[in-house]
């Protein structure tokens, strides 16, 4: 059961980190489709916006101004939150790989490996908050912008809707929450078993040490020389 939980958490952590990174560096957070002509589709991302011709599929992209230039609060906040989520999710996944029982790292210290899994779980849980906050913040901005046009009866022939990059950010954040929850539960459930395993290992070492100390000297010499008895 412990191995299964670790593999499930690793699966979700891998795809969650990938989704967050893909969402941050793709250009389809907001889709503007021209309903009147239906000849092009404009996608706006966090770093550039692209226009794709519907008929021939030709895409042209324009980068935004320098990062030091003045940008809308929605854009700046989403950038900061998504980059933070990317870094935390990446570290969480790396820690998880070190904590897996199938990885030959600290194999004689199961308690330390479980602590590594706990650190990974907490890191992934924390990574989910900025990722979800940034994605939802941007989505709310798109919704408010669209609603304001409808409220003021402004028709520009443009339909605003969420792009797949925004959905990727939300999915990656939820995956971080799920993998983090699985890891923390795994740490809690198997903490007692690991402590008992350590106590048994310590007792075994003490017994072996006591036997070696109290064994007669001639027996120790014979065993050290590898005597196998009369042939």
Distance CA 228, CA 231 (A): 8
Averaged pLDDT for residues 32-59: 73
Is the same domain home to 158 and 171?
yes
Q: Which residues have a Cβ under 8 Å from the Cβ of 59 and sit 6 or more positions away?
A: 50, 51, 52, 53
Distance CA 121, CA 169 (A): 19
Q: What is the pLDDT of residues 159-217, one digit of tens each?
A: 677 888 999 999 999 999 999 998 887 666 665 554 444 444 444 554 555 455 555 55
pLDDT confidence of residue 153: 66
pLDDT confidence of residue 222: 43
Determine how many CB atoms are found less than 10 A away from the CB of residue 18. 16
Is the same domain home to 154 and 197?
no
DSSP helix/strand/coil, 49: strand
Residue 188 sits at φ, ψ, to 5 deg, of -70, -40
Averaged pLDDT for residues 58-62: 77
Mean predicted lDDT score pLDDT of the chain: 76
Please answer whether residues 28 and 51 qualify as being in contact, where contact means their C-beta atoms are separated by less than 8 angstroms: no
Is the same domain home to 156 and 213?
no
Q: How many domains is the chain partitioned into structurally?
A: 2
182: domain CATH number is: 1.20.140.150
Please give the sequence-ordered ranges of beta strands (E in DSSP) within the chain, or none if there are none. 30-34, 40-44, 48-53, 59-63, 158-162
Is the same domain home to 166 and 231?
no
Is the same domain home to 147 and 216?
no
Is the same domain home to 210 and 154?
no
Is the same domain home to 107 and 211?
no
Burial class (CB in 10 A: 0-12, 13-18, 19+), 130: buried
Q: What is the pLDDT of residues 27-37, one digit of tens each?
A: 888 887 555 44
Q: What is the pLDDT of residues 122-168, one digit of tens each?
A: 999 999 999 999 999 888 888 887 777 777 666 655 667 788 899 99
Provide the domain limits for residue 143.
2-189
Averaged pLDDT for residues 12-17: 93
Task: Report pTM.
Answer: 0.73
Is the same domain home to 122 and 200?
no
Determine how many CB atoms are found less than 10 A away from the CB of residue 209. 10
């Amino acid at each position: 059961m412990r191995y299964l939980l670790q593999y499930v958490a690793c699966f979700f952590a891998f795809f969650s980190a990938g989704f967050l990174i893909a969402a941050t560096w793709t250009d389809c957070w907001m889709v503007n489709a021209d309903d009147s002509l239906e000849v092009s589709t404009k996608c706006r991302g966090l770093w550039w916006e692209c226009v794709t011709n519907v008929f021939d599929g030709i895409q042209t992209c324009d980068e935004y101004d320098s990062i030091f230039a003045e940008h809308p609060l929605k854009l700046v906040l989403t950038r900061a939150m998504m980059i933070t989520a990317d870094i935390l999710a990446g570290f969480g996944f790396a820690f998880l790989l070190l904590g897996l029982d199938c990885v030959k790292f600290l194999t004689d210290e199961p308690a330390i490996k479980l602590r590594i899994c706990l650190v990974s779980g907490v890191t992934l849980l924390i990574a989910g908050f900025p990722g979800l906050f940034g994605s939802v913040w941007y989505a709310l901005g798109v919704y408010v912008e669209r609603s304001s046009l409808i409220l003021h009866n402004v028709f520009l022939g443009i339909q605003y809707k969420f792009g797949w990059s925004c959905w990727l950010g939300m999915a990656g954040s939820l995956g971080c929450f799920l993998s983090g929850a699985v890891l923390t539960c795994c740490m809690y459930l198997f903490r007692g078993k690991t402590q008992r395993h350590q106590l048994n290992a310590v007792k075994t070492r003490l017994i072996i040490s006591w036997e070696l100390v109290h064994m007669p000297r001639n027996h120790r010499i014979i065993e050290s020389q590898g005597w196998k008895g009369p042939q």
